[in-house]
Structure formats: structure tokens, C-alpha cells
Amino acid sequence: MPRPIHAFVHPDAVRHNLEVVRQRAPTFRVSAVVKANAYGHGIERIFPALETADGIALLDLDEAVHVRQLGWRKPVLLLEGIFNQSDVKTAEEFGLTVAAHCDEQRELIVSTKPKRPFDIYLKMNSGMNRLGLAA
């Protein structure tokens, strides 16, 4: 028999934590990193609590599109980047910022020839040798 596990999502706590970060780093831009559809609870549950963030960073392309459809107009950073030409076109269509961590991703963006520019963050391998372009 499975254990009775209950999870409670408290948007006010998320909002409070974001404000604490803002108070402690008042001159910095703050992006909310939301992983795995808010750990399976649904990004729409905490979405309203993130309204004062300067941006949202996500791993999944579908989640990035979803926050745009929820009405988010600030920057959306796609942390995993893109994997095919369709992803590039979706990033362009929804105005996403894309992280590129390998030459293949960079070349994929260039070869797809987007109709309009969009922001790209280059991940650099800083010595941990997990992901990133060589300096």
C-alpha cells in the first residue's frame, strides 16, 4: 500500500522568497528557475507568485511555450537549449532565449536561419567538464 503523501503548494511562500532575494540583491536581475513543471505540481500553480521576477528559466521547451501561453511576457530562458530545427522555430516564434552548450546546438541555430534574431546564452565549460563550450 502506498504511503499517503501530500504536497502543498504555497504561492505566497514563493512570492515571499522572491522578495527576500530582491531585498538582498536590489541591483541584480532575478530569474526564477522552475524545474520539472514545478516538480510535478504544475507551473500554473506558482506562476502568479513569480510576477515580480525579471525572467523565468526552464529546462523543457513545452513548459517555455506554456508560460508564454499563460501570459508571461518577460524573458524565458530555455536552459537545455534546442535539439532540432523545429525547436529553433518554436524558440523564434515564442521569443525564447536559448542556452547553447555545444557546437552542434550553435550550428543548428545558424543552419535553421531564423527570420528574426533571438537571444542566445553560451554555456562555457568552466572546468567541471559536464556541459559547455571550450573557452
What are the residue ranges spanned by the domains of the chain? 30-122
Coil, strand or helix: which one is 97? strand
Q: What is the DSSP string of 9-72?
A: --HHHHHHHHHHHHHHSTTS--EEE--HHHHTT-HHHHGGGGTTSSEEEES-HHHHHHHHHTT-
Cα gap 1→107, rounded to integer Å = 51
Residue type, 46: I
State which fold the 30-122 domain adopts: TIM Barrel (3.20.20)
| pLDDT, mean over the chain | 90
Could you tell me which residues are beta bridge partners of residue 78?
58, 98
Nearest to 91 by CA among 65, 63, 121, 130: 65
Confidence of residue 20 (pLDDT cuts 50, 70, 90): very high
The residue length of the chain stands at 135
Cα gap 81→96, rounded to integer Å = 10
Residue type, 35: K
Residues 1-28, mean pLDDT to the nearest whole number: 89
Tell me the pLDDT tens digit for each residue of 33-73.
998 888 888 899 888 899 999 999 999 999 999 999 999 99
